[in-house]
Structure 1
Amino acid sequence: MPKPAKELKALQVKNLSAPGRHAVGGVNGLCLNITETGARSWILRVIVGLKRRHIGLGGYPEVSLAEARDLALEMRRKISAGIDPVVERREQRQALVVATKQRTTFEQAFTRFFEEKVEGELRNAKHRNQWRSTLKTYAYPVLGEKAVADIAVEDVLEVLRPIWMTKNETASRVRQRIEAVLDWSKAMGLRDGENPAGWKGNLQQLLPSPSRVQSETPRPAVALDDFATWFRLLRARDGIAARALEFLTLTASRSGEVRGARWGEIDLQNAIWTVPGERMKERREHRVPLSAAAVELLEAMPRMLNCDIVFPSPKNGVMSDMTLSAVMRRIQESEEKAGRPGFLDARSRRPAVPHGLRSSFRDWVSECTTYPSDMAETALSHLVGSEVERAYRRGDMLDKRREMMDAWAAFAFGRDVEADGAP
């Protein structure tokens, strides 16, 4: 039987510095391990059955000498009672994992997922709020208090079925967001198995296809026959919001891109507006060739001191989305007050909205010109072609699109020009 190690005092243990394993006595096999870097920790060397075990008891000085001896003595008592402390610890960790899975609710999982991933990816506050509001409204009543480990297809269907036929676009987004939360939960070890909110090969077999359910409701656009009149009324209005809407029209851009435009993005000399990827829907840089009319508009815009925003709000911030909508609404109200129908979408007969101006541009390309479809889609910053085709497509047809945007501006001004798309 090996000779028991000398029982060291607390001060002697504190003064140990040589790398290696130092027996400290008091309990057979208790050592202070010192690494080459100077890190210190307690180890109990024991034999359990026929296996030699090195059991960690914590770091020093966080665990004092007296505490280490108490822990080591407790371990040896368990071994004498036929318990393997290593196996016991492993089982405790597994039980903790199971307990964590059982405790983590969908609401708790979403909160962490939102803070750790969604907020870092979505710069648009409106889109972040939509994530929260849709899940709070539709998913939480069914899934909120339910453990993510226990959520099954039937639970997801209980969320979706009441709104699938009547609010299919919203329901589809809710499904995608539930799927994302549950994918994150699986990656975090909070659930196992297939995702019950997945579409392909799963809910696809249980719910009607969105393409069959959703009725096509594009944003109301200004009819092409009325466009020059509408644009003339817009240009007659004063104010930065009216100029922002005019610029949006001439560039066929999205509201957020225009409202957030910075002078640093605009090269007036070369008539190019480069929108950085973080401000684009597709998260990729987009170059916009500026027509002569667009350049003239920008050159007439006042530049605010210490403000790089092209179309700032009264407080020199980014104006709200509703500001541009209000300009269109006032034009429509003025027309109706004068006894005229105003500017209604040709299909839905609803008053036109800012986003519908992009549809007007697309209709103009298709119906009034022979410019290629992919050129128009590129101008609208839509993805064109398959993933492989996009990988080989190096250019963005900037010079050709410049000719198209000049022709579009001429159309908006009511000028009779040839826009045939010829090279």
Structure 2
Amino acid sequence: MNLTDLKARNIKLGGKPVADGTVSGLRLHPGDENGHGKWLMRFTSPETSKRRDMGFGTYPEVSITEARKSATAARELIRSGTDPIDARKANKQARSIDAQALTFEKAARQFHADNKPGWNNTKHAAQWITTLETYVFPHIGNRKVDGLKARDFAEALRPIWLEKPETASRVKQRCSSVMDWCAAQELIGANPVGVVAKLLPKQPKIRDRVVHHPAMPWQDVPVFIEGVLRTGNPSLSKTMLEFLILTAARSGEVRAMTWDEVDLADCVWTVPAERMKANSEHSVPLSGRTIEILEVQKKLAKHPDLVFPSQGGNVPSDMYAPSSGTLIFLTFFF
């Protein structure tokens, strides 16, 4: 019968090994306490014709499924004429050589290249590697990853730890991600970045260091709209800003808004998931005034797709200059 978790959990200290029943030679040997064991597979080496025992870790840390998977891979090597223990040693030695040759900068750039396709925000992807180039590579970029200690990362972060705490925290997290990647590749034993904060001064609490942008009291918004946005020469930035205020949308969502997202009949603007920060489709109800703004933009017909095109027919930047020369920063209102 095949080994089950119930049988494995009932293995007794000093008892007999229990055969897996699925992979030939795989057995769970009793461990140092009840319910714990050690995975071993007995096989005959195809290279020396000698019997050998290959270990696959301990139960329950290594599950039955994981042990079977590893043992099956080992059996495949045996069938191909390779001793799996010798192959594992050779692979470990190769990884050790890789670790000795791999610098932190090379590891970081490889991690960045591997993960960049999964990041939706191109700005974040660029900033991710730029911060390491600025603050970390000059200190430890050419150091081998297997020789890096917590104090090395602490010294790289120290110049910005108190002066730029937000940046320092992000850089620390990115260093940790790189070293986690190295650990997963078995290039290092453990990630040293987790204890870096123990070697540095305590950072001020977030509430003590965050400086919020000044905000307009909501009671003053109607006066602002009437006295600033609807007076003087009309401009694209004034129109976008009023629309932004009325819909509580982000500037990027408004600037890149397209006509196929708008349903004037049902008074709904549907922002697709790929344009939302949360990657989830969002429906925005449109008030009477927002409908008026859209109808005016529709009549202007300056672009077949964009609702608020720039003079060049592109998505306006987040800092748009109206004809009066006054700069209105759309991102300021978030």
TM-score when normalising by structure 2: 0.66
**Cα distance in 2, alignment partners of residues 298 and 209 from structure 1:** 48
Which of these residues, 186, 191, 214, is aligned with residue 189 of structure 1?
186
**Cα distance in 2, alignment partners of residues 210 and 50 from structure 1:** 63
Tell me whether 1:235 sits opposite 2:233 in the alignment.
no
User: How far off is 1:214 after superposition?
Assistant: 4.8
Cross-structure match for 2:268: 272
User: How far off is 1:143 after superposition?
Assistant: 2.8
Cross-structure match for 2:278: 282
In the TM superposition, what whole-angstrom CA distance separates every residue of 1:333-367 from its partner, at most 9, and x where no partner exists? Answer: xxxxxxxxxxxxxxxxxxx8433434xxxxxxxxx
Cross-structure match for 1:308: 305
In the TM superposition, what whole-angstrom CA distance separates every residue of 1:214-263 from its partner, at most 9, and x where no partner exists? Answer: 52311233344653443232234433333222222222222222222222
* Structure 1 letter corresponding to 2:130: S
- The worse-fitting range, judged by mean Cα deviation, of 230-239 and 175-184 is 230-239
User: How far off is 1:97 after superposition?
Assistant: 0.7
User: How far off is 1:311 after superposition?
Assistant: 1.8
SS of corresponding position for 2:319: helix
The answer on whether the counterparts of 2:165 and 2:203 sit within 8 Å (CA) in structure 1 is: no
**Cα distance in 2, alignment partners of residues 331 and 267 from structure 1:** 33
**Cα distance in 1, alignment partners of residues 141 and 219 from structure 2:** 51
Tell me whether 1:104 sits opposite 2:102 in the alignment.
yes
**Cα distance in 2, alignment partners of residues 135 and 271 from structure 1:** 46
Q: Which one has a bigger Cα radius of gyration? A: 1
User: How far off is 1:318 after superposition?
Assistant: 2.2
- Change in CA separation of 1:304 and 1:103 when aligned onto 2, cut-off 3 Å: farther
**Cα distance in 2, alignment partners of residues 329 and 227 from structure 1:** 21
In the TM superposition, what whole-angstrom CA distance separates every residue of 1:83-113 from its partner, at most 9, and x where no partner exists? Answer: x987665433222111112222222222222
- Change in CA separation of 1:327 and 1:113 when aligned onto 2, cut-off 3 Å: farther
Cα RMSD (Å): 3.4
User: How far off is 1:55 after superposition?
Assistant: 8.1
How many corresponding residue pairs? Answer: 262
**Cα distance in 1, alignment partners of residues 47 and 331 from structure 2:** 74
**Cα distance in 2, alignment partners of residues 328 and 176 from structure 1:** 44
User: How far off is 1:297 after superposition?
Assistant: 0.8
Cross-structure match for 2:216: 222
In the TM superposition, what whole-angstrom CA distance separates every residue of 1:46-73 from its partner, at most 9, and x where no partner exists? Answer: 662635996858xxxxxxxxxxxxxxxx
- Change in CA separation of 1:230 and 1:117 when aligned onto 2, cut-off 3 Å: same
- Change in CA separation of 1:248 and 1:149 when aligned onto 2, cut-off 3 Å: farther
Cross-structure match for 2:50: 50
SS of corresponding position for 1:197: helix
**Cα distance in 2, alignment partners of residues 113 and 233 from structure 1:** 49
Larger relative contact order (Cα-Cα within 8 Å, sequence gap ≥ 6):
1
* Structure 2 letter corresponding to 1:355: T
In the TM superposition, what whole-angstrom CA distance separates every residue of 1:370-394 from its partner, at most 9, and x where no partner exists? Answer: xxxxxxxxxxxxxxxxxxxxxxxxx
- Change in CA separation of 1:223 and 1:131 when aligned onto 2, cut-off 3 Å: same
- Change in CA separation of 1:267 and 1:196 when aligned onto 2, cut-off 3 Å: farther
The answer on whether the counterparts of 2:151 and 2:196 sit within 8 Å (CA) in structure 1 is: no
SS of corresponding position for 2:193: coil
User: How far off is 1:135 after superposition?
Assistant: 1.6
Which of these residues, 196, 207, 211, is aligned with residue 205 of structure 2?
211
The answer on whether the counterparts of 1:278 and 1:284 sit within 8 Å (CA) in structure 2 is: yes
TM-score when normalising by structure 1: 0.53
Tell me whether 1:135 sits opposite 2:129 in the alignment.
no
Tell me whether 1:171 sits opposite 2:165 in the alignment.
no
Tell me whether 1:249 sits opposite 2:225 in the alignment.
no
SS of corresponding position for 1:95: helix
**Cα distance in 1, alignment partners of residues 324 and 280 from structure 2:** 32
SS of corresponding position for 1:273: strand
SS of corresponding position for 1:313: coil
Cross-structure match for 2:42: none
The answer on whether the counterparts of 2:235 and 2:322 sit within 8 Å (CA) in structure 1 is: no
Cross-structure match for 1:154: 151
* Structure 1 letter corresponding to 2:97: A
Cross-structure match for 1:91: 89
The answer on whether the counterparts of 1:222 and 1:356 sit within 8 Å (CA) in structure 2 is: no
Cross-structure match for 1:293: 289
- Change in CA separation of 1:330 and 1:178 when aligned onto 2, cut-off 3 Å: farther
The runs of 5 or more residues in structure 2 that have no matched partner are 1-44, 53-76
**Cα distance in 2, alignment partners of residues 185 and 312 from structure 1:** 46
**Cα distance in 1, alignment partners of residues 324 and 331 from structure 2:** 13
Cross-structure match for 2:71: none
The answer on whether the counterparts of 1:221 and 1:353 sit within 8 Å (CA) in structure 2 is: no
The answer on whether the counterparts of 1:119 and 1:128 sit within 8 Å (CA) in structure 2 is: no
Superposed, 1:308-347 pairs within 5 Å as: 308-323=305-320, 326=321, 330-331=325-326
SS of corresponding position for 1:253: coil
The runs of 5 or more residues in structure 1 that have no matched partner are 1-44, 58-83, 333-351, 359-423
Cross-structure match for 2:36: none
**Percent identity of the aligned residues?**
36
User: How far off is 1:202 after superposition?
Assistant: 5.9
* Structure 2 letter corresponding to 1:153: A
The answer on whether the counterparts of 2:46 and 2:78 sit within 8 Å (CA) in structure 1 is: yes
